[in-house]
Amino acid sequence: MTDAPLFDLTGHVAIITGGNSGIGLGFARGLARAGADVCIVGRNKERNADAADILRAYGGRVLALACDVGEEKQVIDTIALAADELGRIDSCFVNAGVAQGMTPFIDTDLAEFRRVTSINLDAAFVTLREAAKVMVAQGEGGSLVGTASLAATQGVPRGQSYAASKAGLIAMMNSIAVELGKEGIRANSVLPGWIETPMTDGVFAWDRFQERVKPRIPARRWGRPTDFEAVAVYLASPASAYHTGDTLLIDGAYSKF
């Protein structure tokens, strides 16, 4: 047992895929505010640089790496580089993902299904595996976090591939929690509701969607990336030392109404 402050992440190193915008940047900002050194991973170098500038204002080390998480070798090299540059990896937030198109289910071809699952599930698998290797080698435990979606638990029209990928991610996180618990490695999923991010800009701009969905949210607003800062700190910190194999719902009670 340690008497160290529960939410002080000084000396902690976190890596966040899809960390240059939206929920991923919310995770990264919370971690940086708590004193962690962070590595954000994304395909867009300009967006990476802008996010890194935001994070450096909190005083910690910030590393921004360009990577296509759909390419296994790039992921392997990126995780290794992050560990080498920052000295270790204590938490890994798998947040990179893509949305599904609006093609009806009966017209969706296998290539489109695999386009979504290859990023949301396959790439998450590779990222988690590589980060876990570093943590096991360090021998000091760690925290793995996957960004899921309400689509994993609720039916979404024209969303079969996205829903399958996110449900698969939750199942994978649960299995990791069981297998790596003996290594002191925790694995949890975060399940966001309707959050204002670049991925949801299109649907949120649709008046009919706003009229039908927003009134169903008891919190009476869309979620924001800032709503994910504190949960990131909790999951990375010693405060969650015995919290693993869980799915944390952040949806303003939408799914309960």
Distances (CA, A) of 146 to 82, 120, 127, 188, 236: 18, 10, 10, 7, 12
Tell me which residue has tokens 């090299």. 77
Provide the 3-class DSSP secondary structure of residue 27. Answer: helix
Catalytic entry in 91, 149, 189, 240? 149
Alpha helices in 118-245 (DSSP H): 124-138, 160-180, 201-204, 207-213, 229-236
In the residue annotation, 45 being an active-site residue is answered as no
The residue type at 19: G
- The whole-angstrom separation of Cα 257 and Cα 255 is 6
CA nearest neighbour of 151 among 140, 135, 138, 162: 162
Query: CA 152, 40, 198, 156: dihedral to nearest 10 degrees?
Result: -10
Catalytic entry in 166, 189, 234, 237? 166
In the residue annotation, 58 being an active-site residue is answered as no
Catalytic entry in 21, 91, 143, 162? 162
In the residue annotation, 149 being an active-site residue is answered as yes
CA nearest neighbour of 22 among 96, 84, 115, 73: 96
Q: Could you give the residue numbers annotated as active site?
A: 149, 162, 166
